[in-house]
Amino acid sequence: MILASIAVVAGIALLIWSADRFVDGASATALHAGMPTLLIGMVVVGFGTSAPEMVVSALAALAGNPGLALGNAYGSNIANIALVLGLVALLSPVAVHSQVIRKELPVLAAVTLLAGWQLWDGNLSGWDAAVLLGVFALVMGWSIVQGMRGRDDILGTEIEAELASHPMSLRSALVWLVVGLVLLVVSSRILVWGAVTIAQALGVSDLVIGLTIVAVGTSLPELASAIVALRKDEHDLVVGNVLGSNLFNTLAVVGIAAGIHPLAVEPVVLYRDWALMALLTLGVFAMSYGFRGPGRINRLEGGLLFAVYIGYTGYLVATVLMGARSL
């Protein structure tokens, strides 16, 4: 148990560091290849910030832990909106000016509804995985088109400033790209082993472990980058990272995990976890879209999002404690 706890802490720490190096290396490599900065932000950074969830869920599916794979993906989406956006908006109201982000919001809402429809029968099959990955390919194609058309979008300007603050030679970029990817896999293996061992020792479902410890751990890169972006007054980058990560999680992370091994879905995932994820997605859509002008997540709304996360996590912990007392 002690060794497993150390493995979880060490795995999360290494996961955060390696994910950061992977994103930096991938972004710099794409920049050297002549990719537009807006496209780098929408595709490369979106993929990189979801790489921890992707690797962890894939390894969990391979190990026969479907609850951990699904809990990590949906738990990360909940944490990205309620914890990351909520906490950041509490620190400073987040304004949304980017037209690209406003186009991504309804896409994320539609994708979330698709995920709920697939969960309805209590199983995510290989066909469900194919649909998710097919939609993911379409969304990526759409993102590329938007990235090529919206070169003057404010999100591209913020990403360009962010890349300029961390200049990197092509050789260094390729080294960190490879090193980051290798360490992502190693740290994910350590984290999955520790999380499953703790779940078995406590008699807790791997779903709950995935929704809490693992989800928060894999969402920490988004939180760190969001706080840094906020300090630089790059508000659209904050929201863009969260939306991009949630799109990747819902489509690619779950799709890859279900493609590796069909996932049996507990009913509670639909009426508790997916339902909250859907409500939060619709909530941030209403806050950020700006139907009559620029969108804005104010401190009151940020506080509400953060309170929802605290309440949700507290509820999960309470159910674990109640289950332990009944044994």
- Ordered by where they begin, the domains of the chain are 2-326 (1.20.1420.30)
**pTM of the entire predicted model:** 0.84
Structure tokens at 59: 């390894």
Structure tokens at 275: 């339902």
Separation of alpha carbons 98 and 100, rounded Å: 5
Structure tokens at 36: 């537009």
Share of the chain above pLDDT 90, in %: 22
Give CA angle at 120 (83, 72), nearest 5°.
Answer: 30
Separation of alpha carbons 279 and 295, rounded Å: 18
Residue 34: how many other CB atoms lie within 10 Å: 6
What was the pLDDT predicted at 294?
A: 66
Please say whether the beta carbons of 57 and 254 come within 8 A: yes
With b for 16 or more beta-carbon neighbours within 10 A and e for fewer, the 231-253 pattern comes to eeebbbbbbbbbbbbbbbbbbbb
Q: What is the pLDDT of residues 258-307, one digit of tens each?
A: 999 888 888 899 999 999 999 999 988 888 776 656 678 889 999 999 99
The phi-psi region of residue 4 (left if phi > 0; otherwise alpha if psi is between -120 and 50; otherwise beta) is alpha
What was the pLDDT predicted at 279?
A: 95
Q: What is the pLDDT of residues 208-260, one digit of tens each?
A: 888 888 888 778 777 777 776 777 676 677 777 788 889 989 999 999 999 99
Could you give the 3-state DSSP secondary structure of residue 264? strand
Average pLDDT, rounded, for the chain: 81
Banded pLDDT at 111 (limits 50, 70, 90): very high
Separation of alpha carbons 287 and 298, rounded Å: 9
What was the pLDDT predicted at 196?
A: 77
Could you give the 3-state DSSP secondary structure of residue 123? strand
Dihedral sign for Cα atoms in the order 119, 125, 131, 134? positive
Question: Which residues on adjacent β-strands are paired with residue 123?
Answer: 264
